[in-house]
Amino acid sequence: GGKDAINTTIINFNNEKMQITWAARELFPNENVSFFYTFGEGKHKVWKPCTTYLLDQDYNSGCLFKTEGPTLAISIRNSNGSEELFSKDLKADFYIKPSPPENVTFFWEEDTVTVSCNKPERNAWCLRLELQYKSKFDKEWQSRTSKCCSVGEQGFDPRKCYSFRLRLRRLVPYCNVVKYSSDWAAETFWMNGTLLDSCDDDITPQSKTVIILSCSLAVLLMMLILLILLCKWQRVQLSVLPAIPDPKYPFADLFNDHNGNLQEWLDKNDHVVLQTKLEYEEPESITEAESQQEDGKNSDKQGPLEKIFTFSGAAENNDSKAAEIACLIPAPNTMAPFAGFHILMNDDMYVML
CA-atom Rg of the chain in angstroms: 56
Q: Is the pLDDT of residue 182 over 90?
A: yes
Residue 75 confidence class, pLDDT cut points 50, 70, 90: very high
Residue 46, CA atoms < 13 Å, CB-side half-sphere:
2
Which 3 state secondary structure label does DSSP give 1? coil
Q: Which of 25-29, 110-114, 232-236, 338-342 has the highest mean pLDDT?
A: 110-114
Give the C-alpha distances (Å, rounded to integers) separating 201 from 102, 160, 249. 26, 11, 67
* Domain extent listing, the chain: 8-97, 104-196
Asked if 126 and 174 count as a contact pair (C-beta separation under 8 A), the reply is: yes
Percent of the chain whose pLDDT exceeds 70: 66
Determine the average pLDDT of the residues in 207-235.
83
Asked if 271 and 312 count as a contact pair (C-beta separation under 8 A), the reply is: no
The pLDDT score that the predictor gives to residue 121 is 84
pTM over 0.75: no
Percent of the chain whose pLDDT exceeds 90: 36
Which 3 state secondary structure label does DSSP give 56? strand
- CA gap 165, 142 in Å, rounded: 10
Kind of pairing between the strands at 96-97 and 8-13 = parallel
Edge-first strand listing for the sheet containing 8-13: 53-56, 59-66, 17-22, 8-13, 96-97
The pLDDT score that the predictor gives to residue 323 is 43
Q: Where are the beta strands (DSSP E) in the chain?
A: 8-13, 17-22, 34-38, 48-49, 53-56, 59-66, 71-77, 84-91, 96-97, 105-109, 112-116, 127-135, 142-147, 150-154, 162-170, 188-191, 194-196, 334-338, 341-345
Q: Is the pLDDT of residue 352 over 50?
A: no
Determine the average pLDDT of the residues in 216-228.
89
The pLDDT score that the predictor gives to residue 53 is 94
Q: Is the pLDDT of residue 123 over 60?
A: yes
pLDDT digits (tens, 9 = 90+) for 269-278: 654 444 544 4
Burial status of residue 81 (CB atoms within 10 A of its CB: 0-12, 13-18, 19 or more): middle
Q: Which residue has the higher pLDDT, 306 or 208?
A: 208
In this predicted structure, which of 74-83, 138-147, 173-182, 302-311 has the lowest mean pLDDT?
Answer: 302-311
The pLDDT score that the predictor gives to residue 309 is 40
Q: In CATH terms, are 8-97 and 104-196 the same topology? A: yes
Give the C-alpha distances (Å, rounded to integers) separating 218 from 24, 205, 211, 215, 224. 70, 20, 11, 5, 10
The pLDDT score that the predictor gives to residue 1 is 37
What is the topology classification, in CATH, of domain 104-196? Immunoglobulin-like (2.60.40)
Mean of the per-residue pLDDT values for the chain?
Answer: 77
Determine the average pLDDT of the residues in 118-141.
90
Q: Is the pLDDT of residue 284 over 60?
A: no
| CATH 1.10.1240.10 correct for 8-97 | no
Contacts of 231 (CB under 8 A, 6+ apart): none
